[in-house]
């Protein structure tokens, strides 16, 4: 089976990890801060905090933005469940904004309408989680202008988008957001096994996130309530978590970051081949807008089922049976049983639901060989015609 994604690991990665294993510190040495610096310099953000997953990064971002019971977090229904669950961890409520059928990202028009309605009904969100779906940036300039008008904070869930750009600047520079979070799960742009990172330009948020990522414990005299002059002394000043990344993982992250640009370039090369070789088929690909350089995390196609004699799942199964590891990103979050129990239902976000009836992710990762691209295209032609 050709998988839909696969990590790229080379000898340099292996050696870097082995070096840490042979060193004194497997965690809480200085490799994590070195990795944080690499991501900070790459994105142009001023502060960075490594975490043990993208999910814990989302949780910490919500906590630092003071998301509480009684508050609302809005996100897109077409995302991984973690983009919404982070609100529930904080006791807050979740709502969704339907997608744009062409970009598959949150619709800026729908967001505007929903904000105007929420303003009148006094139920504006405190936090908006935008997801750069497949690596394609959302319309951040417009969304940022709306955040100024309606007074909400913005988290960029850039788990698909590390290595991408928006208006010539790297995703993660936080020009139009409060924080950006990344994941380093093996299917993402770079990997540390499990892992994540939060970047921000806000020193107060960064300090709070760092504190909460490690039990709420500080050794910084300026942050302590009492002045006890003993070298063992530390204080727990908040209820934090153990969301730290290990030095073993960070070492892998550093060597992976050396190859990020070539990873993304190769992803674009394959995507362009798909664009050309699939152009005759009754499918639609994501409309990759001009002002953005996608992180190209996923290549999603939408089947034009009215022009095809088979069903969505027939085509999906046929491809899988023929060795093509297609996938589906994602089942709309509001249709998950956990969310349906909160009152969401079919019909709530029609564009997301229509997308779900038609979507399919085809394989895309840097080491996918050209001859596999040809095989995938042939199988797609056979399955769809």
Residue 252 binds to ligand PLP (criterion: CB under 6 A): no
Minimum CB separation of residue 129 from ligand PLP in Å reads 9
Give the residue with the Cβ less far from ligand PLP, 53 or 361: 53
Of 164, 196, 240, 366, the residue at the interface with ligand PLP (CB under 6 A) is 196
Minimum CB separation of residue 365 from ligand PLP in Å reads 14
Binding segment for ligand PLP (CB under 6 A), chosen from 48-56, 63-71, 339-347, 356-364, is 48-56
Give the residue with the Cβ less far from ligand PLP, 198 or 270: 198
Residue number of the CB closest to ligand PLP reads 54
Residue 53 binds to ligand PLP (criterion: CB under 6 A): yes
Give the residue with the Cβ less far from ligand PLP, 7 or 55: 55
* SS3 track for the chain: CECCCCCCCCHHHHHHHHHHHCCCCCCCCCHHHHHHHHHHHHHCCCEEEEECCHHHHHHHHHHHCCCCCCCEEEECCCCCCHHHHHHHHCCCEEEECCECCCCCCECHHHHHHHHHHHHHCCCCCCEEEEECHHHCCCCHHHHHHHHHHHCCEEEEECCCCCCCEECCEECCCCCCCCEEEEECCCCCCCCCCCCEEEEECCHHHHHHHHHHHECCEECCHHHCCCCCCCCCCCEECCCCCECCCCHHHHHHHHHHHCCHHHHHHHHHHHHHHHHHHCCCCCEEECCCCCCEECCCCCEEEEECHHHCCCCHHHHHHHHHHCCECCECCCCCHHHCHHHHCCCCCCCCCHHHHHHHHHEEEECCCCCCCHHHHHHHHHHHHHHHC
Provide the mask over 131-150, with x wherever binding to ligand PLP is found by CB under 6 A and - wherever it is not: x-------------------
Of 65, 90, 111, 159, the residue at the interface with ligand PLP (CB under 6 A) is 159
Residue 156 binds to ligand PLP (criterion: CB under 6 A): no
Residue 189 binds to ligand PLP (criterion: CB under 6 A): no
Give the residue with the Cβ less far from ligand PLP, 185 or 268: 185
Q: Which residues of the shown chain bind ligand PLP in the complex (CB under 6 A)?
A: 53-55, 79-80, 82-83, 131, 157, 159-160, 183, 185, 196
């Amino acid at each position: 089976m050709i998988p839909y994604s696969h990590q790229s690991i080379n000898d340099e990665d292996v050696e870097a990890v082995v070096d840490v294993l042979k060193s004194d510190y497997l965690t809480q040495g200085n490799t994590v801060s070195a990795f944080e610096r690499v991501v900070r310099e790459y994105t142009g953000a001023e502060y960075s905090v490594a975490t043990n997953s993208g999910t814990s990064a989302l949780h910490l971002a919500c906590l630092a933005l003071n998301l509480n019971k009684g508050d609302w977090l809005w996100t897109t229904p077409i995302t991984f469940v973690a983009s919404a669950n982070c609100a529930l961890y904080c006791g807050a409520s979740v709502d969704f904004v339907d997608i744009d059928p062409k970009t598959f990202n949150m619709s800026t028009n729908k967001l505007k309408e929903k904000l105007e309605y929420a303003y009148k009904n006094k139920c504006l969100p405190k936090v908006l989680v935008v997801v750069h779906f497949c690596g394609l940036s959302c319309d951040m300039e417009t969304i940022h202008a709306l955040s100024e008008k309606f007074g909400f904070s913005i988290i960029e869930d850039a788990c698909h988008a590390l290595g991408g750009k928006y208006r010539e600047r790297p995703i993660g520079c936080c020009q139009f957001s409060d924080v950006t979070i990344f994941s380093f799960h093996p299917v993402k742009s770079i990997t540390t096994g499990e892992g994540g990172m939060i970047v921000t330009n806000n020193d107060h948020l960064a300090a709070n996130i760092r504190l909460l990522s490690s039990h709420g414990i500080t050794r910084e005299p300026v942050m302590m309530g009492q002045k006890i002059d003993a070298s063992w002394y530390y204080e727990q000043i908040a209820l934090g978590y153990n969301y730290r990344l290990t030095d073993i993982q960070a070492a892998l992250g550093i060597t992976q970051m050396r190859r990020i640009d070539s990873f993304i370039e190769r992803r674009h090369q394959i995507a362009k081949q798909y664009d050309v070789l699939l152009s005759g088929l009754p499918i639609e690909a994501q409309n990759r807008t001009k002002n953005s350089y996608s992180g190209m995390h996923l290549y999603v196609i939408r089947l034009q089922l009215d022009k095809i004699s088979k069903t969505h799942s027939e085509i999906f199964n046929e491809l899988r049976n023929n060795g093509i590891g297609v996938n589906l990103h994602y089942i709309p979050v509001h249709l998950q049983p956990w969310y349906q129990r909160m009152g969401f239902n079919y019909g709530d976000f029609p564009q997301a639901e229509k997308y779900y009836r038609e979507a399919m992710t085809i394989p895309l990762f840097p080491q996918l060989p050209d001859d596999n691209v040809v095989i995938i295209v042939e199988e797609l032609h056979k399955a769809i015609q």
